[in-house]
Structure 1
Amino acid sequence: MKAVLFANTDWYLYNFRRSLAMSLLRAGYDVLLISPDGPYGPRLRELGLRWEPLPMERRSLNVLRESALLLHLVRMLRREQPDVVHGFTIKCAVYGSLAAKMAGIPARINAVAGMGYVFTSDQLKARLLRPVVRGLLKLALGGEQGRLILQNSDDVKLFRQAALVEPAHIRLIRGSGVDCGKFAGNSPRKNREGATRILLASRMLWDKGIGEYIAALRLLRNRGYTVQAMLAGTPDPGNPAAIPEQTLREWVDEGTVTWLGHVDDMNALLASVDIVVLPSYREGLPRTLVEAAACALPLITTDVPGCREVVADGVDGLLVPVRSVEPLAQAMRQLLDDPALARRLGEAARTKARNYFDERIVIERTLGVYAELCGPGQEARQRRYG
């Protein structure tokens, strides 16, 4: 059996899907990873995985360039003749599925982690693209040999209501999985000297709620609270919602936040903080919250799809309204004023992470989807539906 895993960055494949790729290898699959070129491709090869770069630009709307990409994918799939093509994110789902159909590869798995810029932004460009993307999704995702993996129940409901894919072909698998055991040694900091350390770790995008985070920190400071606030992550030049680096540096210069940039060792960073915040506008299932939960850290996030899959308000974290500043500041004050509550929420978060979001659970369920399409009887199904 052969599988092609297609993502819009090599960073994503390395950080979120290398465990799946290694599990597929152990299960006997020949695995090919494809993405735009980048520094993580060689690191995937060092693990013994096959990786090839693609001539893909994430923000491109140029018809000629996009047609060339699709043709490149078709030729690659005809050369490789995989049994299944597995695409991640909306663009890869659309292009990977269309290319697979054109190359005669019937089995397609698509994992859409959140609805992305086109569906979350109110910008004119996003609104204009929305019906086009909906049409392409419906064309690409259909078929008896297609499966769509979604990360939260809200997205499952949305896709069913939009009739983008046959409901029987949707699978709910919560997240890409986190190695909770890697974070097992971390625990909430006790009696640590210095100001409470608050972290927001994500791509530096406006729709991660970073503007609201900065405004809430200013409110805390004006009300006499002293915290050490941090941002971890980099702007995403392929995303129209990227925060300009100049804006980030202005926040640093005014003393509101420390910007750490890209962080390789999230384990060490999470071991050094007290509270994790993610006031996102919408998510698939946010990995940063699951990693923080595995460390028994108290979480503050928004009551939106994806985030509320990880946090139940008052049980294993705190939920605040989306795009809100005052409630976000109040939630941070609540944890600062009540360390016992922070510890209780953190311990409950760790239990949930182990029981629902550990990578062993996610990979087992994902391999189950592969078995549906590539298990015994596959050839007969292909003759029937191909």
Structure 2
Amino acid sequence: MKASNKILFVVNAPEFFLSHRLPLAQAARAEGHEVHVASALGECAHKIEDHGFTHHIVPFARSGQNPLNELTTLFKLVGLFRSLKPDLVHLVTIKPVLYGGIAARFSGISAVVSAVSGLGTVFLASSVVARVRMWLVKRLYAAAFKQKRLAVIFQNPDDRDTLLSLVALDSSRTRMIRGSGVALGEYLCQPEPAGTPVVVMAARLLRDKGVFEFVQAAEHLVERNAAVKMRLIGSPDPGNPTSVSEHDLERWKQAGVVELLGYRTDIAEQYAAANIVCLPSYREGLPKSLVEAAACCRAVVTTDVPGCRDAIIPDVTGLLVPVKDPVRLADALQSLIENPVLRKKMGREGRKLAEEAFAIERIVAQHLQIYRELLES
């Protein structure tokens, strides 16, 4: 690998780069590489340049319902790749992986890293329209993975095995890295707060994240007279068809069974003020919220689905429940609410897991090794 290579990160939104890939980009720059970032324009896009990286705007649409917009994104990527001529592109999340992979083929990019941080809900739906969409997505993946030098990073084995079974992808090109990592010095293991136990869920307010099941579980716990405070952190995503509505939020606010904290950036502080972290998602890559919960010594209740089950050690650092089952979710939460000794033990084990598997230094080192392999081959 030459002393300095030009590396381009392609992500759908600037806030995702800042929350999930910034330490990696900084480490690559520290090794002497020239680092660029391409994303849609967002409110915090200027922060990318504040960190010293060159930012390129690519119009990634959130909904993806307009074919003309999608083609425009693809052509913009081709133009960017041809003008910038990066030695390696690192594509993160679904649209950058699909469109960026195809653009790389047209642009003669030497090395491609595709990070599949979750397959999304397209592989869960069963309607006729959804099956047609899945057929198209499979073919886009197959086209995007036809690279001379390629590494496809998965965060859990289920996603890897699913794509290997559906797409012409050589298993030797796959890599497994468990999530985006956590800065252990920022997410500290602190004692649980005294008083009424607090359960917190932090996520985008989407149906697929299990938000409705979380609220329904809270209703069950109220009916059982359980001593608990349920807190929901996050904001709606109007560009996503599964987003909760303002009507939903107003209804929940009036009912008063959950505290709505809105979008927050102080997640470490919010977890420190809680006793249990919950994420009843339908499917994930490897959820950062659960990695952060482990680092903060908090027991977890999550669903037995790809990604979520890979972020915990079942019955050691947390509990698994069936997906879309608010009654079983309430049961698991109640068991930890009423057993502080067990949940504190799970929290300590979670911290050990975070130190062994999720430390940001470990995750960054694994990525840099992949860069070296591709750039030296």
Give the match for residue 112 of structure 1.
116
2-structure distance, mates of 1:19, 1:269: 22
Q: Does 1:327 align with 2:331?
A: no
From 25, 29, 32, the counterpart of 1:28: 32
Instruction: Indicate the residue corresponding to 1:187 in structure 2.
Output: 190
Tell me, in whole angstroms, the C-alpha distance in 1 between the residues paired with 2:356 and 2:338. Answer: 29
Equivalenced residue count is 373
Q: Which residue of 1 aligns with 2:106?
A: 102
Are 2:357 and 1:356 equivalent residues in the alignment? yes
**Alpha-carbon distance, 1:126 to partner:** 3.1
Paired position in structure 2 for 1:146: 150
Deviation of the 1:213 alpha carbon: 1.1
Q: Do residues 202 (structure 1) and 209 (structure 2) align?
A: no
8 Å CA contact retained: 1:41, 1:52: no
> Where does the alignment leave 5 or more consecutive residues of structure 2 unmatched?
none
Q: 1:357 to 1:254 in 2, by over 3 A?
A: same
Query: What aligned pairs does 1:228-239 form with structure 2 within 5 A after superposition?
Result: 228-239=229-240
**Cα deviation digits, residues 105-132 of structure 1 (max 9, x gap):** 1311110111113223445543331110
1:239 CA displacement: 2.0
8 Å CA contact retained: 2:141, 2:167: no
Q: 1:19-168 maps to which residues of 2 (within 5 A)?
A: 19-122=23-126, 125-168=129-172
Contact 2:230 2:258 in 1 (8 A): yes
Unaligned runs of 5+ in 1: 379-386
TM-score, structure 2 as length reference: 0.96
CA contact (8 A) 1:117 1:239 kept: no
Counterpart-to-counterpart distance in 1, 2:77 and 2:52:
23
For residues 243 and 139 of structure 1, the distance between their equivalents in structure 2, rounded to whole angstroms, comes to: 34
SS in 2 for 1:183: coil
Give, as a single letter, the amino acid of the residue that structure 2 aligns with 1:246.
H
Measured at CA, do residues 209 and 152 of structure 1 come closer, stay the same or move farther in structure 2, by a change above 3 Å? Answer: same
8 A contact 2:41–2:57 mirrored in 1: yes
Separation in 2, partners of 1:125, 1:304:
24
Q: % of aligned pairs identical?
A: 36
SS of 1:260's equivalent in the other structure is strand
- Residue type of the partner of 1:98? I
**Greater Cα offset, 26-35 or 121-130:** 121-130
Q: Cα RMSD (Å) of the superposition?
A: 1.4
Alignment partners' CA distance in 2, 1:196 and 1:127: 43
How far 1:278 sits from its partner (Å)?
0.4
Q: 1:123 to 1:233 in 2, by over 3 A?
A: farther
1:169 alignment partner AA: R
For residues 363 and 47 of structure 2, the distance between their equivalents in structure 1, rounded to whole angstroms, comes to 23
3-state SS, counterpart of residue 186 of structure 2:
helix
Could you report, residue by residue, the CA deviation over 1:295-351 in whole angstroms, capped at 9, with x for unpaired residues? Answer: 100100011111111222211111111111121111111111111001111110110
Query: 237-246 vs 93-102, which deviates more?
Result: 237-246
Q: Does 1:318 align with 2:322?
A: no
Aligned to 2:304: 303
8 A Cα contact 1:2 1:31, kept in partner: yes
1:344 corresponds to 2:353? no
- The answer to whether the 8 A contact 1:187-1:297 is kept is no
Cα-to-partner distance string for 1:157-189 (whole Å, 9 max, x where unaligned): 2122223411110000110111122112x4231
- 2:262 equivalent in structure 1: 261
Shift of 1:212: 1.1
Greater shift in the superposed pair: 344-353 or 248-257: 248-257
Q: 2:366 and 2:34 mapped to 1: Cα distance?
A: 19
Compared with structure 1, are the counterparts of its residues 362 and 153 closer, same or farther at alpha carbon in structure 2 (3 Å cutoff)? same
CA contact (8 A) 1:188 1:274 kept: no
